[in-house]
Chain A
Amino acid sequence: MQKSMVQQVMVQQVGTVTAEDGAGHAKAKSSLMRSPQFSSFVILVVLLVVFAVADGNFLSPLNISNMMAFLPELGIIALGMTLLLTAGEFDLSVGAVFALAPVVVMLLVQNAGVDIGVALLAGLLLCIAIGAINGVIVTKIGISSFLVTLSMLLIVRGAALYITQGFPLKSWDQPGFFVTLLAGSFNIGAFRFYTSLWWFIGLSLLAVYVLRYAKLGNWISAIGSNRNAAVARGVPADAVKIWLFIATSVLAGLAGMISAFRISAASPVAGTGYELEVIAMVVVGGTALTGGRGTILGTIVGALMLRAIRNGIVLVGVPGLAYNIFVGVIILAMLILHALLQKNAARS
């Protein structure tokens, strides 16, 4: 009873934001039913119910707190990736940046005695530089983002390993303003949340606004949909893409900082494989890998879904080594569902 009400409220919330530019309500409703983020949302609810029934601990405060601690870290990267994919590019170097940024920041503070604020600024500049290099090579030299960011993955990961000699840094023992800002925690009843959740919520709202309501979002979708058409209308496609690469890199670095501060340690192998997990979240949510169609709400649903799956299948007792089989199968099923819905929509 209570659950169904929660579901209704959530459906309505998704609905109001999904309604194409606030168009008529009836029309919005029917297109909502067919929209990819809606089908993802339904599947998320089903998964949550299945896990909740299968294991009583799934919805326990401790477990929910756990999921909410992890969610923002990949979710924040996924927001940037969604915008980038909508513009027709993607970034495989995010997992490596996730590791390198905190490694550099913490090394500067721990070994070089640099002030934490200055070190964070250096980390930020590093992320901007990585994103800018990705973007400039992709747009100005015209090499596919797959190849460019794959190379960047190796360079960045290699750098993280080299400067740490492959070892995790010694644990972080300096609380302070920035640590609280990025990884502070607070309790609501029996739940324990981290400030990173606020970051995720704030950045999500910003991303929804940019993609759906701002001039920039119109440009991003147009570039991914038909780059030549956008350029012919005077849209600065290359500049937009370069800035999106930068934003994605910075968000990956931010997520890395949040994670490192939360666990009080930076490791050169942190975030290994995150690039694919993030891309999976984004496409499971309904954003087209080919560009032009992006949905931030879908990405949030996708991020929740992958988090819930990873968490749930452990609780349900799937052997650890078999996780990825399930994750892969569920992702594939989602993509097939999206494709079928797309076909149906085109026919009607």
Chain B
Amino acid sequence: MMQEVLRLQNLQKSFGSVRALKNASLTLKEGEVVALLGDNGAGKSTLIKAISGVFPIDRGDIYVRGEKVSIRSTREAMDLGIETIHQDTSLAPDLSIARNLFLGREPVNLKWLGVFAPLDLAKLRDAASALLKRVGISKKLDADALVSTLSGGERQSIAISRAMQFAAKVIILDEPTNNLGVEETHGVLRFVKEMRAAGHSVLLITHNIHHVFEVADRIVVMRRGEIVAEQTVADTDLLTVESLITGADLSALMKRAQ
């Protein structure tokens, strides 16, 4: 049926004495939206940073489309088709929107010049404008504007549109709706659905459980560096999910209260 795109097996990662990831395993299928949930410090960002090559894992295996891979750098993750939007802002404020959108994958002329190749500025700006239109950012943004002049939400939208353009197999969003207004939030959720419809897989980290029920197929809950539950959204409800996150049995509490 649906093909497996990404499989993580027993990932472990420690920062000194902090065991941020203990034994995390997870599978992501084609055209599937998986919500990764958990309280602050549960290890969600650590997990996705390991997949996206920000730092190496201590132990464990990563498979992309059934093939075992080692991801040693962000470039390798991108080349494997994994695009990540990190929680901590992922844009360079002193660069223009257009330059940020293509950072690391700049369109150039005279490619043989390597890093000295001249940027294809016309293409850069046109592609950026087209992209900005497609994401439907409410305010009209100029591709030449510096990112430092944008609001937090606008920056987030830029980062998301950047992940869209390279048609990655796996798109990872770490709390993408943080700081966003109503309209932009819906833009992001719509984007997630579009991506699924187009056959991409999305790993969505969020603290907003309503969003989970709106877009996700499956939820994975982390607590203290471990994956403690996995459920399909159709088979669960809000209260159950909340109790899984906190570790307290809320539905039992509610029943007792009644």
**Interface of A toward B, CB cutoff 8 Å:** 20-23, 209-210, 213-216, 218-219, 221-222, 224-226, 228-236, 288, 292-293
CB distance from B59 to the nearest CB of A (A): 23
Whether B26 is near chain A, meaning CB under 8 Å from some CB there, is no
Give 7 pairs: A residue, B residue, CB < 8 Å, sorted on A: A20-B144, A21-B124, A214-B119, A215-B116, A215-B117, A218-B95, A230-B92
Check A230–B103 contact: CB distance below 8 A. Answer: yes
Interface of A is mostly: helix
Identify which of B88, B119, B144 contacts A218 (C-beta below 8 A): B119
Docked Cα-Cα span, A222 to B95, in Å, equals: 7
Q: Which residues of A contact B105 (CB under 8 A)?
A: 233-234
Q: How far is the CA of A218 from the CA of B98 in the complex (A)?
A: 11
Question: Is B206 close to A, CB under 8 A?
Answer: no
B79 to chain A, nearest CB (A): 8
Per-residue A-contact encoding for B85-122, CB less than 8 Å = 1, 0 else: 01011111111100110011110100001011111010
Asked if B73 is an interface residue, CB under 8 A from chain A, the answer is: yes
Would A232 and B74 count as touching, CB distance under 8 A? yes
In the assembled complex, which residues on chain A have CB atoms less than 8 Å from the CB atom of B89? Answer: 226, 229
Within 8 A of A (CB), among B191-250: none
Inter-chain contact B94/A293, CB cutoff 8 Å: yes
In the complex, A108 Cα to B39 Cα: how many Å?
66
C-alpha gap A23/B125 in the complex (Å): 10
Decide: B78 and A21 in contact? CB cutoff 8 A: no
Q: Are A228 and B104 in contact (CB under 8 A)?
A: no
B7 to chain A: closest CB distance in Å? 23
Bound CA span A177–B92, Å: 46
The interface residues of chain B lying within 8 Å CB-to-CB of A21 are: 96, 121, 124-125, 144
- Known contacts: A20-B96, A215-B108, A218-B99. The answer to whether A229 contacts B91 by CB under 8 A is yes
Task: Please tell me if the beta carbons of B92 and A292 are within 8 angstroms of each other in the complex.
Answer: yes
CB of A203, distance to nearest CB on chain B (Å): 14
CA distance A215 to B112 in the complex (A): 12
Residues of A within 8 A of B104 (CB): 219, 230, 233-235
| Interface residue ranges of B64-84 to A (CB < 8 Å) | 73-75, 78, 84
How many angstroms between the C-alpha atoms of A216 and B114 in the bound complex?
9
Q: Is B189 an interface residue (CB 8 A)?
A: no
Is B117 a contact partner of A226 (Cβ separation < 8 A)?
A: no
Closest to A215 in B: B106
CB A292 to nearest CB in B, in angstroms, measures 4
Instruction: Say yes or no: B118 contacts A234, CB within 8 Å.
Output: no
> Is B52's CB within 8 Å of the partner chain A?
yes
- Given A231-B74, A234-B78, residue A215 in contact with residue B115 (CB < 8 A): yes
Residues of B within 8 A of A225 (CB): 92-95
A229-B74 in contact given A210-B116, A214-B118 (Cβ < 8 Å): no
How many whole Å from B123's CB to the nearest CB in chain A? Answer: 12
- Do A213 and B119 touch (CB < 8 A)? yes
A234 CA to B96 CA in the complex, in Å?
18
Identify the 7 closest CB pairs spanning chains A and B, nearest first.
A233-B104, A234-B75, A292-B94, A225-B92, A225-B94, A216-B115, A222-B92
What residues of A have a CB within 8 angstroms of the CB of B103 in the complex? Answer: 218-219, 222, 229-230, 233, 235
